[in-house]
Structure 1
Amino acid sequence: MLSRERLPPRIILKYYLYQATATFGFFWPVFTIFLLDRGLNYTQIGLLGSISAAFVVVGEVPTGYAGDRIGRRNSLLVGSVLLALSVLGFLVAETFLAFAVLWVLWALGLAFRSGSGDAWLYETLEERLDEGEFTRVRGRGGSVNQWLSAATMLAAGALYSYDPRLPFLAGGLLLASSIPVLLSMPETNHQQDGETFTVLDAPPVLREQLTNPPLRSTVLYLALFFGIVNAADEFIQPIATGPAGLSETALGPLYAGFTVLAAVTSYFAGDVEELLSTQWALVLVPGLVGAFFVVPLLLPVAALPVFFLMKSARTAVAPIASGYVNDHAGAAGRATVLSAASMVYALARLPLKPLAGAVADATTPLVAIAGLGGCFLVAGSLVFAWERPGSDAAVGDGQPAD
């Protein structure tokens, strides 16, 4: 059992180091203005985002299957190589077609990492330490990532002002540094008793795991939550510089504040789970966010605190949700199930973002935020009435109950 008092084992320290290298903070705050400076317009930037989202959705299950076939660590290696190549490619790309290629590499890199990282950690804890510590270790790894993101975000503007390519050079090199870290980490024994997970095994695994309790209602409920949070992200800047009264120069410190709070919340995700229980953490925290989304419509000054709540809640829920899916996924197809859950989360975002945008265009961003909260409360209540998300309706071997 991992102790809270002593230094974590070497293998966990390596995982934290990997999380430190997996940050996009150097270039994320200047991403849009860099693309505009390269001659792209907002329509083209939006189209690139759609291309990326489409490839994430299409690539989630195949890359999750690849993680089950080639190994979790090797899948993470492929993802790191693709992400590093994508970011370093911004140093030379100048045409829309070139940027589209980089976006595809970016999306595939994210897809390779999405299921395999959590699968590697869960199985490493299961084999060597204690899988019951997954939420705590995953949350603290996320905290390391968020702290590094905040620090690198503060450097992004200075690097960009000196040379617009420098943030991407620094970001690409940082991502590339994850490769030797991953090579020093062991592979897990995810194929048990000589069993081979084939492409023909994937559909039955997904059907059994995601269309039966307890995962079906939980993944659907979480997809709604992650969907409204992702859609609400689009309105932070116009609300912050509009009804909330911040200047544009204050956006950088605001986003750094989001990241710092997310780091603290992620660190204590395990304590949140212990305090509320897994089920109620997954149900109550998203429900609280949905309810507070309505408040800025009545009191615009409350918008910024609500955004801080939204960011911290998401980082708290993510490791708890991943641990829950891990607990109820079979060992052979674990990365496939995790990637399929990520695909469901992405699918929920696709309609919510344009619908929220249409509402904001017709009314105001505050109305759109309130609409997202109301949508979640209604839809989430229906899911809860149908089947309680996060309930332990599974037998002891991790297979779904009948």
Structure 2
Amino acid sequence: MTRMLRNNLINLYLIKFAKWFNLVMPVVVLFYQDNSLGMQQIFMLKSIYSVAMVVMEIPSGYLADVWGRKKTLILGSFLGTAGMAVYCLSYEFWAFAAAEVILGIGYSFISGADSALLYDSMKAAKREKDYMKQEGWITSAGNFAEAIAGVCGGLLATFSLRMPFYVQLLIAAVAIPAAFLLKEPKVQSTALAKGFGTTLQTVRETFQHTRLRAALLISSFAGTASLTFAWFVQPYFKAANLPVSLFGVMWTVLNLSVGVSSMFSYRIERKVGQRNALLIIILGFTIGFYLAAWEVSLIGISFLFFFYLVRGIAHPILKDYINRDTRSEVRATILSLRNFVIRINFAIIGPALGYLTDNFSLSWALIATGTGFLLTALPFLKPLWKPAPQSSSDKPS
């Protein structure tokens, strides 16, 4: 392993830690409710966050490809810290909304750029075949961090529901020096993208590339499903009458399951093959939603683990399928496009699912989400049933 690759892996792990060691997530719904917000307002906040990401997602990917992945990661790290500072000082919906806008923009500068820098670092070291393995391990490390944070956040919340936010501010700041210490790999060509029109052309060409379009959309729909399911977990715990003292513990165990399955995702894909891996992901997500909806109880919490295990398998595999058909000089743009689709999907369906939960039931909201994922993902399955050919001359540029 080269010194550059080792350095970047260490600092990308630290950035992932700062982003995923989320002390507030296990109790954030309780925090919002303590500040007089209902589920529809909570989903509205997350939609505002998603819109902020949507607005900047593709431009941030373009900047990462032209300005540099390191610089965009530095900017994203500063904004993530600033957004958490605003949260620490906020007490009502519109102040929370302002914090969500800052955090959403900050996250958009990190998402896509981190995976692009990882892939190109490995490519520069002639280790790109190990990308899925490293992406899985970094994802796993992020989920382990989130799992440990679940326990810590729950303990901090016993002092005050605001205390996790104060400590989270310090955790978010860790990403800033880590981003400064990154080294930009030399496989990137900045001469290609001469204006934002090039980015728009890249988007058009992506959707003309059958395999890449299928990989990007399936990965995006899976990301939307994962994000939505995560926001159902705390209402599920509450509906199942889980003691609040155990929220952090259960959150921890769920994320540990994601971390474990992420570590072995590359082995699973190699063992079962691309076609079966895709079927496991699509059917597994759908069944996970249905099982959770079928039994909302303390016993039913065990069904949540099924979804989280599939989630851990899915994301490293699907990101790898995108990277295989993407050129280095537009990689961050394409990965940002994936996150763009995730967030715009969530911005559209989030408030509707919040309304469905408040006015009908959590089970109906889970069934609706699972059915929607199945119907949108299945039509794009066929182009990916066969492995990509060795030639990549049709990759969008």
Q: TM-score, normalised by structure 2?
A: 0.87
Q: Deviations over 1:51-86 (max 9, x none)?
A: 211111121111111111211111111111100111
CA pair 296-324 structure 1, distance change in 2 beyond 3 A:
closer
1:398 & 1:23 partners in 2: Cα distance?
Answer: 36
1:188-337 correspondence runs (5 A):
188-192=185-189, 194-242=191-239, 244=240, 246-295=242-291, 303-337=300-334
1:360 Cα offset (Å): 4.5
Aligned 8 A contact 2:81 2:169 in 1: yes
Residue matched to 1:396:
391
1:299 & 1:90 partners in 2: Cα distance?
Answer: 35
1:194 & 1:378 partners in 2: Cα distance?
Answer: 40
Alpha-carbon RMSD: 2.9
1:165 & 1:378 partners in 2: Cα distance?
Answer: 40
CA pair 381-28 structure 1, distance change in 2 beyond 3 A:
closer
Q: Deviations over 1:347-383 (max 9, x none)?
A: 3334443444455456532243234333433443333
Residue matched to 1:5:
none
CA pair 362-279 structure 1, distance change in 2 beyond 3 A:
same
What letter is aligned with 1:182?
Answer: A
1:116 & 1:76 partners in 2: Cα distance?
Answer: 7
1:46 Cα offset (Å): 4.1
CA pair 225-183 structure 1, distance change in 2 beyond 3 A:
closer
CA pair 28-365 structure 1, distance change in 2 beyond 3 A:
closer
Which one has more relative contact order, counting CA pairs under 8 Å at least 6 apart?
A: 2
* SS state at 2:197 partner: coil
Q: Deviations over 1:115-166 (max 9, x none)?
A: 1000000000000141111111111112222222222221223333435544
Larger deviation: 114-123 or 367-376?
A: 367-376
Aligned 8 A contact 2:64 2:332 in 1: yes
1:2-401 correspondence runs (5 A):
9-37=6-34, 44-94=41-91, 96-192=93-189, 194-242=191-239, 244=240, 246-295=242-291, 303-357=300-354, 359-360=356-357, 363-384=360-381, 387-389=382-384, 391-392=386-387, 396-397=391-392, 399-400=394-395
Larger deviation: 363-372 or 33-42?
A: 33-42
Q: Deviations over 1:79-110 (max 9, x none)?
A: 11100111122233345444332211100011
1:29 Cα offset (Å): 2.3
Aligned 8 A contact 1:80 1:175 in 2: yes
CA pair 257-67 structure 1, distance change in 2 beyond 3 A:
same
CA pair 194-169 structure 1, distance change in 2 beyond 3 A:
same
Q: Give the percent of matched residue pairs that are identical in Structure 1 and Structure 2.
A: 23
1:296 & 1:21 partners in 2: Cα distance?
Answer: 30
1:295 Cα offset (Å): 3.9
1:256 & 1:279 partners in 2: Cα distance?
Answer: 32
Aligned 8 A contact 2:39 2:357 in 1: no
* SS state at 1:293 partner: helix
Larger deviation: 190-199 or 84-93?
A: 190-199
Aligned 8 A contact 1:327 1:398 in 2: no
1:27 & 1:231 partners in 2: Cα distance?
Answer: 17
2:221 & 2:53 partners in 1: Cα distance?
Answer: 18
Q: TM-score, normalised by structure 1?
A: 0.86
Larger deviation: 223-232 or 140-149?
A: 223-232
1:124 & 1:55 partners in 2: Cα distance?
Answer: 29
1:308 Cα offset (Å): 1.1
Unaligned runs of 5+ in 2: none
